[in-house]
Amino acid sequence: MTVAQEQVAVERENGVMVITIDRPAVRNAIDYDTAQALSAAFDELDATPSLSVAVITGSNGTFSAGMDLKAFAAGGKLPRSERGFAGIVRQPPRTPVIAAVEGAAMGGGFEIVLACDLVVAAQDAVFGLPEVRLGQCASGGGLLRLPRRIPYHRAMELILTGERLGAEAAERLGLITRLTPPGGALAEARHLAERIAANGPLAVAASKRVVVESQDWPSSEAFDRQAAIVDPVRNSADAREGAVAFSKKRAPVWQRE
């Protein structure tokens, strides 16, 4: 087992990949090896047809403290891959990803959360972009994504002050998909992932693609661009299977074609 494999645990079951950042001694901070392992997991996720969704979480009651500044200061490489910081922020996977957050998701840890498609968090979880307090900028997607997730002025307050945001406040702002009692985030995220994995995999992937890519589409082209993505799904064997299964009141058997 390599160092990277020790720092990132990966499980695969029933169409769901669960990725756990496992560096509790440093609050699951991300160093170069961890970023490479995360990137490899997301590459596998996108390359494996039998996987429909992923959950990313942290071990020992903490999501992630962000970049491992001590490792970098000691001469380590920047914790990124071609996918960006933590192997996700610049190029998230095409497959949906759910963040399961216990404890703190700070700095780059929060940016990992923002790169995910859904967020399940414990009631005592906290989020923040404290980079300005260190004379830095949240350049791993925090400045780009947070104002698209919550109201502009609230996002600017969090970005410019570096203050923390509690989970209950984050839920009120629409940042969190589901809120759980402490210790329950991963179980709830697994449950949500299983519900997604039960759906047509081609439809799930295409739906995410349209939502993500359409943010930059001119309104005059939106329906035509959407059609190029969803029409192959509409004409697929899985679409026919979904209709037959519905009419016969049975569970569909997806062929991913």
| Residue range 25-63, pLDDT digits in tens | 999 999 999 999 999 999 999 999 999 999 999 999 999
169 plus 206 within the same structural domain? no
Q: What percent of the chain has pLDDT over 70?
A: 98
* Residues 127-148, mean pLDDT to the nearest whole number: 96
Structure tokens at 222: 């939106």
Calculate mean pLDDT across residues 85-111: 97
pTM, entire model: 0.95
pLDDT given at position 257:
86
pLDDT confidence of residue 88: 97
| Average pLDDT rounded to a whole number, residues 2-24 | 89
Residues 82 and 15 both lie in one domain: yes
Radius of gyration over every alpha carbon of the chain, rounded to an integer in angstroms: 19
Extended strands (E) in the chain = 8-13, 16-21, 53-58, 80-81, 84-85, 97-101, 104-106, 118-122, 126-128, 164-166, 178-180
Taking 90 as the threshold, does the pLDDT of residue 121 lie above it? yes
Q: Cα torsion at 205, 207, 212, 216 (round to 10°)? A: 130
Look at residue 69 and tell me whether its pLDDT is greater than 90: no
Residue 86 vs residues 56, 102, 185, 214: alpha-carbon distances, Å: 12, 18, 21, 25
Same structural domain for residues 76 and 114? Answer: yes
**Residues 189, 149 within the same domain:** yes
Angle, CA 16 vertex, CA 216 and CA 13 arms, to 5°: 165
Number of domain units in the chain: 2
Residue 80 and residue 86 in contact, taking contact as beta carbons nearer than 8 Å:
yes
**160 and 212, same domain (yes or no):** no
Nearest partner of 194 among 39, 8, 18, 10, judged by Cα: 18
Question: Is residue 256 situated within a structural domain?
Answer: no
Give residue 75's pLDDT. Answer: 86
User: What CATH number corresponds to the domain at position 176?
Assistant: 3.90.226.10
Model confidence at 144: pLDDT above 50:
yes
Cβ-contact 76, 46 below 8 angstroms: no
Percent of the chain with pLDDT over 90: 92
Residue 5: pLDDT band (50, 70, 90) is: low
85 Cβ contact partners less than 8 Å away, ≥ 6 residues apart = 30, 35, 67, 78, 79, 108, 111, 140, 141
Q: What is the mean pLDDT of the chain?
A: 95
* 135 and 205 both lie in a single domain: no
Predicted confidence at residue 2, as pLDDT, reads 53
Please list the active-site residues.
111, 131
pLDDT at 72 (0 to 100): 80
Q: Which residue range(s) make up the domain with 66? A: 3-197
The pLDDT of residue 3 is: 55
- 257 in a structural domain: no
Task: Inform me whether the pLDDT recorded for 1 exceeds 50.
Answer: no
Same domain, 18 and 96: yes
Q: Please answer whether residues 207 and 233 qualify as being in contact, where contact means their C-beta atoms are separated by less than 8 angstroms.
A: no
pLDDT digits (tens, 9 = 90+) for 175-231: 999 999 999 999 999 999 999 999 999 999 999 999 999 999 999 999 999 999 999
Same domain, 151 and 231: no
- 114 and 185 in a single domain? The answer is yes
pLDDT number for residue 4: 57
Are residue 68 and residue 88 in the same domain, yes or no?
yes
